[in-house]
Each structure stands twice: as structure tokens, then as C-alpha cells.
Chains A and B, each alone.
Chain A
Amino acid sequence: MTDVFAWLEGTPPAAAIAESAWLFPTLETLHVLGLAFVVGSIAAFDLRTLGLAWPARRLETLARDILPWTWTGFAIAVVTGVLLFSNAATDYIRNPAFLAKMGLMVLAGLNVLLFHFHPHQLRFATEGHVSLPLRVSAGVSLTLWTAIVVLGRWIGFV
């Protein structure tokens, strides 16, 4: 498995990042921009679901409006994240903050699936009714994405 990460570090994009002074900080900035779209849009939806923000926006409309933001941000964050990872894959794979961040992203993905396939989803989609399990899911999502941002910052410090 270590060979795969070592190979990744030797690929042309990884070599270009290593040789360039400005490519890594530019990718980092775009990664933060993508993450801002993802976390900002998801937080807006979660806070509205919990009844803590955006009372003037209908939940169903908000859900439809934010989806392009979330997916655009996610695409930017994944592409830039993979490129940043390729630059020092063998180091990142041993970094506890990076591993915890990836683990929490998997949990956040499972939470999204839980929200969308929950039996109460139909009433949410048609009437905007938020049941207790959906509120719990929104709270869990907010906590997970906050932790993902915090762990992302700690990657450079551990």
C-alpha cells in the first residue's frame, strides 16, 4: 500500500506541485474556497433545519438552492485535495489529523444518506416537516463538518 502512495508522489502533477513555489498555496486557497462552499451551504441547511437561522427561507426551497453550492464546492475540494495529497502522500497517510478528517468525512457522508433515506424524508420533502431524527441528523452534520474543518487546520501542526 505504501508503494501506491510513493508512486503517487512521483506522478507528473505531484512533481509539478513540488517544483513550483506558487502551485501549492494556490491549490490550498482553492481547497479552502471549495470547503467554504461545502461547509457554508451545509451549515445553512442544518441551522435552518434546527430552526436556528434563515427563518424567511422555506426549507424545501433552501434545500434545492444550496445543492449546486454543495456539489460545486465538494468537486473543487476533492480535486484540489487529491492534488495536495499527492504532493506528500506518504506523510499525510501517517498524519493522525488527516486520518481523523477522512474518517469524519465518511461519517458525514453516511449521515447524508441517513437523512435522505430516512422514512420521515417524504413528509420533509412534501410539507417541510422536520421530525426529531432529522433534527438529530442536522445536529450531527453540523458537528461533523465543524470537526472536519478543525482537523484540516491541525494537519499542519501534528
Chain B
Amino acid sequence: MLRGLSADIAHTWLSGEIQSHLWVVPAFQSVHILAIAALIFASFSANLAVLRSPHGARTMPWLAGSYRWTWTALAILLVSGVILITGEPKRSLMNFFFRLKVLLVIAAAVLTLILQRSLAGPMRGRLPHAALVVLAGISIAAWVGILFCGRFIAYFGDLSGGE
């Protein structure tokens, strides 16, 4: 299914335009990396605050700001990511590390939502401290995994069979 989708995207007008303008891919990759920098700092500072003191994190007034930055950066990552996929569909859709990255992004987004609602939202105080610490630790590991997958796409995991 993804093989067909990859071929269909490659034949669209937009994909052709992106491929014919050589500056588009590095330009959107730059935007992608800037969004990663914002996301990693915002997400890590929130998660590490939870790891240090789950009780203290609940009372930190800046935590809501961290999550706003995380979601804004994630939105920019998704938009720039879709443009990059449109420009090079086979490189991304037909790659093991890209697929793993997508799964990890979904997992990290769900974890962020749970932590946000538990620390500064409607579920405040419902999760025990130990659960918050475990979720924050998994969240950090997921974002690091996403970084590795993002870079490894360029080197490993080609599933296209040389087509």
C-alpha cells in the first residue's frame, strides 16, 4: 500500500516542483531542525523537571508554556515533514526508520498529552508520582529515538528493493 502511495505522490505536481527546485529540501530540513531544537528543549526541560520532583513539577508556573512550545514545534515538524515526504516520497515512506519514527512520534505525542493533563490540566493529581516519573523517562527516550531515526533514514533501512 505504501509502495503505491509513494509512487502516486512522486507523480503529483507538487512533488515535481519540490524536486525541480533544489533549495526547497534543505530549506525545509532547516525549518525541521529548528523545530526539533525548540521541541527537544521544551520537552526535555518539562520531563526532567518531572524526573527531579514530580510533586514540584505540578507547581511550576512555566510548565504550561513548555507544553505550548512542544505542541507548536510538533505542528511545525509535521508541516515541514509532510513537505519533505512529498518531495522525496520513496526515501521516507519506503524506509524502516521513517516508519519507526512515525510510530515513536505518535507515542511521544500521546505521552506528552497524558503528562500535560496530569501536571497542568484536568487530570491534575490523578496519576501517582511513580507513574509520572516512568512516563517522563519514556518520553525522553522516545524523543531521542525519534532523533536517531530521523538521521538514520539517510543511511539505513531502505525497503524499496532498489526500485
Q: Which residues of A contact B (CB under 8 A)?
A: 21-22, 24-26, 28-29, 32-33, 35-37, 39-41, 43-44, 53-57, 65, 69, 146, 149-150, 152-154, 156-157
Contact = CB atoms under 8 A, between A and B. Distances in A.
29 contacts: A22-B155, A24-B155, A25-B151, A25-B154, A26-B148, A29-B151, A32-B33, A32-B150, A36-B33, A36-B39, A36-B147, A37-B41, A40-B40, A40-B41, A41-B41, A43-B37, A43-B41, A44-B42, A53-B69, A54-B62, A56-B61, A57-B62, A57-B65, A69-B41, A149-B37, A150-B30, A150-B34, A153-B30, A154-B30
Nearest to A155: B26
B65 A54 contact: yes
Contact of A69 (B36, B45, B61, B154): B45
Interface in B46-83: 61-62, 64-65, 69
B10 interface: no
Contacts of A44: 41-42
Contact of B151 (A32, A36, A41): A32
- In the A-B complex, the 4 residue pairs with the smallest Cβ-Cβ separation, listed nearest first, are A40-B41, A36-B40, A39-B37, A56-B61
| Residues of B contacting A: mostly | helix
A56 B62 CA distance: 5
B69 A39 contact: no
B139 to A, nearest CB: 15
Contacts of A32: 33, 36, 147, 150-151
Given A35-B37, A44-B41, 17 more contacts: A21-B155, A22-B155, A25-B152, A25-B154, A32-B36, A32-B147, A32-B150, A40-B37, A40-B38, A40-B41, A54-B65, A65-B45, A146-B34, A149-B37, A153-B30, A154-B26, A157-B26
B68 to A, nearest CB: 9
B148 A39 contact: no
B144 interface: yes
B144 A153 contact: no
A70 B139 CA distance: 21
B46 to A, nearest CB: 12
A69 to B, nearest CB: 7
A77 to B, nearest CB: 11
A154 B23 CA distance: 9
B125 to A, nearest CB: 20
Nearest to B36: A36
B118 interface: no
A69 B46 CA distance: 13
Contacts of A54: 62, 65
